Amino acid sequence: MATGFELILAAICLNSTACMQGIPLQNNSDTMQFSMISQNGNSSFINILDEKKTEMAKQNRLKEMQNWLNGRKLRIATIDDFPLSYTEKKNGEIVGKGVSFALVDFLAKKYNFTYDVIKPDNDIIGSSYDMDKSLIELLNQSRADMAAAFIPLLSLIRQHVAYSETTLDEGEWIMIMQRPPDSASGSGLLAPFTFDVWILIMISLLAVGPIIYGLIMLRNKLTKDDSQYPYSLGHCVWFVYGALMKQGSTLSPIADSTRLLFATWWIFITILTSFYTANLTAFLTLSKFVLPFNEVDDVLKAQKNFVASRGRGLEYAIKTENEILSKLNTMVQKNKVEFVNTSDTTILRTFVEQKSFLYIRDRPATDHMLYNDYKFRKTIDIKEEKIHCPFAKAKNPFMTKKRAFAYPLNSNLSLIFDPELLNLVESGIVKHLSAENLPNAEICPQNLASTERQLRNGDLMMTYYIMLAGFATAIVVFFTELIFRCLNARRERFQDEEFLRRGNVKNIAWNKNRNGIQTLSNNNITPPPPYTSIYNQSRQLMQNLNRINEIDPEKPAVKKLINGRDYIVYRNIKGENQLIPLRAPSATLFQYSYVD
Ligand SMILES: *[C@@H]1O[C@H](CO)[C@@H](O)[C@H](O)[C@H]1NC(C)=O
Ligand SMILES: *[C@@H]1O[C@H](CO)[C@@H](O)[C@H](O)[C@H]1NC(C)=O
Ligand SMILES: *[C@@H]1O[C@H](CO)[C@@H](O)[C@H](O)[C@H]1NC(C)=O
Ligand SMILES: *[C@@H]1O[C@H](CO)[C@@H](O)[C@H](O)[C@H]1NC(C)=O
């Protein structure tokens, strides 16, 4: 651990160029002063002397190490883990690149050593049960002097190698997934109101019709005013529904109290629909974007397939008992998890894009990967942001683990490297280097900034369902109407026969009339009375007229055809001609069949 004293030494070291030739052994009064400052004056002089002695021993050991390192060639193992560590071939020689080798190069320059880069054949970190051709096997068998890679701190690895005391960073494993469609889709049309509000609207829709009907009836009963026609219950319910849909109705009440009832409902509907419209607009344009998977538990619950790099920290964190993610081991046993050894781009294109797996990868690799993908897609289509960003990352990390370099267990290199690494980490160089070549702006944020959102079929699904449901109900109602009509017709024919048997002709006519069905073609009904009986009527009338003495006896009443109509013409005692209209036989027929 770095004491305050060491930090101060390091500060001097970083500021002075002389430092590059090695840590100056300060065996003078300056050291005394530093140690007194660092102890804040709360220790005795003896303590200071003791400390100075151990400090001296340490300095001597460092000096020894420095000399031993000077001009030496180390073997440094690494794995491909862009951008933290990766290798390139140059003139047949493997050259280490990435953040790790930026740190190693700094150490090499400072302590004047050179190094060879070696890679494990399987390109995996390795663990107790996965040692073959791994990075830690190289270290454990002392085929490498150190591992320059960001190795997560895991218990099973710690048994075989020694981590550097300085942790380089805290790795965050992030879920990458296909970008889901915007959240307000499908249920979007119901989104403006909560469930309670919808229920209450339904209740008011059902209740207001009967209430209006009841109030109209009550009013008619109390006022005995027949200027307001009492609407039927069906009309009232239909009015309420029509007003809710802003369609109006043909009902136009005359009584003021009924008008007020109607107007109240209209006001309610106006407010309700304007709220609905406004809120729906807001939901469709400003709706919050919600990812389906945000943390480990979401994945576990949905048993969602995911993919991760083979032989890296995440695999060991899942497969090792009592590790942080060992609860996911059941999913591994069900073959829901794949650990693959291909490039990030391949995984992204095949597993995430085509098979819609989740991809779990650590930062900063995720940022670089998504940025490269974004740049590639930008060449396909310049405008459409949705096409540029087919992937989304979860905000919460899937796992966090500290990461460090590793040495063989008995190595003495950590003694000299770790304090230097600490200085570098504290200066923020790791963060800076890992974000190199990335833009400052966030690439493909969760909420894409595209302002206009066109409605897709998914958004309108609800309306389609409503249409289908409406048509289906109408068809069902239509068929029930048909069935009832058949039943009614049969029953009526039955009743008619019954009546006929009783000779109750009048009743039949009434029945038919009420149902509005033309009955003349019906054979069961007796034909209209003969014309003669109708003419007899007029003759009788004439005889009656002639009998009363209001008529001039010299001019008896006669039947005449005037303008195509029959009239009885007679002259009254004042000598004026008077006409009495006689009905045409067809009018009698009409009267017979419809009015009785
Ligand atoms: C440091 O000082 C001690 C006496 O205090 C002396 O014996 C020793 O040689 C000095 N070491 C160096 C490296 O100057
Ligand atoms: C460091 O360890 C190596 C063996 O790993 C050994 O040869 C060397 O002498 C040691 N150096 C010091 C200064 O102890
Ligand atoms: C650095 O090491 C090289 C050998 O690799 C040696 O020739 C050179 O003198 C060393 N430089 C210092 C300052 O010790
Ligand atoms: C290799 O690992 C074993 C434990 O599996 C350990 O006992 C041994 O010391 C390690 N060797 C080195 C050189 O680190």
Answer yes or no: is pLDDT of 501 > 70: yes
CA of 412 to the centre of ligand 4 (A): 15
CB atoms inside a 10 Å sphere around CB 250: 8
Reported as type and span, the H/E element at residue 561 is strand 558-562
Ligand 4 atom with least separation from CA of 161:
14
Instruction: Please give the full DSSP string across 325-342, using - where no structure is assigned.
Output: TGGGHHHHHTT-EEEE-S
For ligand 1, atom 9, which residue shows the shortest CA distance?
27
CA of 323 to the centre of ligand 4 (A): 21
**At 192, is the pLDDT very low, low, confident or very high (cuts 50, 70, 90)?**
confident
289 neighbors 447 (Cβ within 8 angstroms): yes
CA of 162 to the centre of ligand 4 (A): 10
**At 22, is the pLDDT very low, low, confident or very high (cuts 50, 70, 90)?**
very low
CB contact burial 8-33 (16+ within 10 A = b; e otherwise)? ebbebbeeeeeeeebbeeeeeeebee
Amino acid at 549: N
CA of 235 to the centre of ligand 3 (A): 104
Spatial distance between the Cα atoms of 261 and 258, rounded to a whole number of angstroms: 5
Spatial distance between the Cα atoms of 388 and 373, rounded to a whole number of angstroms: 8
The residue that leads in pLDDT, 226 or 560, is 560
pLDDT, residue 517, reads 46
Q: Mean per-residue pLDDT for 176-193?
A: 73
Is the beta carbon of 70 within 6 A of some atom in ligand 3? yes
- What's the Cα-to-Cα distance from 327 to each of 170, 318, 322, 332, rounded to whole Å? 22, 7, 9, 10
Is the beta carbon of 109 within 6 A of some atom in ligand 3? no
For ligand 1, atom 14, which residue shows the shortest CA distance?
27
Is the beta carbon of 142 within 6 A of some atom in ligand 4? yes
The residue that leads in pLDDT, 565 or 31, is 565
For ligand 1, atom 1, which residue shows the shortest CA distance?
27
For ligand 4, atom 7, which residue shows the shortest CA distance?
160
Closest ligand (CA of 29): 1
CA of 172 to the centre of ligand 3 (A): 40
For ligand 2, atom 6, which residue shows the shortest CA distance?
412
Which two tokens mark 573? Answer: 């005692």
CB atoms inside a 10 Å sphere around CB 591: 12
For ligand 3, atom 14, which residue shows the shortest CA distance?
70
Spatial distance between the Cα atoms of 415 and 66, rounded to a whole number of angstroms: 10
Weakest mean pLDDT among 138-142, 391-395, 518-522: 518-522
Q: Mean per-residue pLDDT for 264-283?
A: 89
pLDDT, residue 521, reads 43
Is the beta carbon of 49 within 6 A of some atom in ligand 1? no
pLDDT, one tens digit per residue, over 122-179 is: 899 999 888 889 999 999 999 999 999 999 999 889 999 999 999 999 999 999 999 8
Closest ligand (CA of 31): 1
Ligand 1 atom with least separation from CA of 27:
1
pLDDT, one tens digit per residue, over 84-133 is: 999 999 998 999 999 999 999 999 999 999 999 999 998 999 998 888 89
Closest ligand (CA of 65): 2
Q: Mean per-residue pLDDT for 420-443?
A: 91
Spatial CA neighbour of 394 closest among 297, 286, 327: 297
Answer yes or no: is pLDDT of 31 > 50: no
Q: Mean per-residue pLDDT for 567-580?
A: 79
CB atoms inside a 10 Å sphere around CB 282: 13
Spatial distance between the Cα atoms of 152 and 163, rounded to a whole number of angstroms: 9
CA of 152 to the centre of ligand 2 (A): 26
The residue that leads in pLDDT, 247 or 431, is 431
Is the beta carbon of 43 within 6 A of some atom in ligand 3? no
**At 562, is the pLDDT very low, low, confident or very high (cuts 50, 70, 90)?**
confident
Reported as type and span, the H/E element at residue 4 is helix 4-15
Spatial CA neighbour of 135 closest among 124, 146, 149, 143: 124
pLDDT, residue 423, reads 93
pLDDT, residue 556, reads 73
Q: Mean per-residue pLDDT for 395-406?
A: 92
- Provide the strand spans (E) within 254-390: 306-309, 337-340, 358-362
CA of 412 to the centre of ligand 3 (A): 21
Q: Mean per-residue pLDDT for 344-371?
A: 91
CA of 27 to the centre of ligand 1 (A): 6
Amino acid at 395: K
Spatial CA neighbour of 397 closest among 148, 553, 174: 174
The residue that leads in pLDDT, 492 or 593, is 492
Answer yes or no: is pLDDT of 43 > 80: no
Alpha helices (H) along 120-255: 135-140, 155-158, 195-223, 233-244
The residue that leads in pLDDT, 463 or 522, is 463
pLDDT, residue 17, reads 42
pLDDT, residue 531, reads 59
Return the axis-axis angle of helices 413-426 and 4-15, rounded to nearest 10°. Answer: 70
Is the beta carbon of 486 within 6 A of some atom in ligand 4? no
584 CB-near residues (< 8 Å, 6+ apart): 565, 566
Percent of the chain with pLDDT strictly greater than 90: 41
Which two tokens mark 316? Answer: 């060991």
CB contact burial 538-559 (16+ within 10 A = b; e otherwise)? beeebeebeeeeebbeeeebee
The residue that leads in pLDDT, 528 or 94, is 94
**At 583, is the pLDDT very low, low, confident or very high (cuts 50, 70, 90)?**
low
Average pLDDT, the chain: 81
Weakest mean pLDDT among 210-219, 256-265, 426-435, 582-591: 582-591
Which two tokens mark 57? Answer: 């021993």
pLDDT, residue 548, reads 66
CA of 77 to the centre of ligand 2 (A): 19
Give SS3 for 148.
strand
pLDDT, residue 23, reads 45
Reported as type and span, the H/E element at residue 46 is helix 45-69
Q: In what order do the strands lie in the sheet with 565-571?
A: 558-562, 565-571, 577-582
CA of 161 to the centre of ligand 4 (A): 7
Is the beta carbon of 27 within 6 A of some atom in ligand 1? yes
415 neighbors 58 (Cβ within 8 angstroms): no
Alpha helices (H) along 352-456: 365-380, 385-388, 413-426, 429-434
Give SS3 for 89.
strand
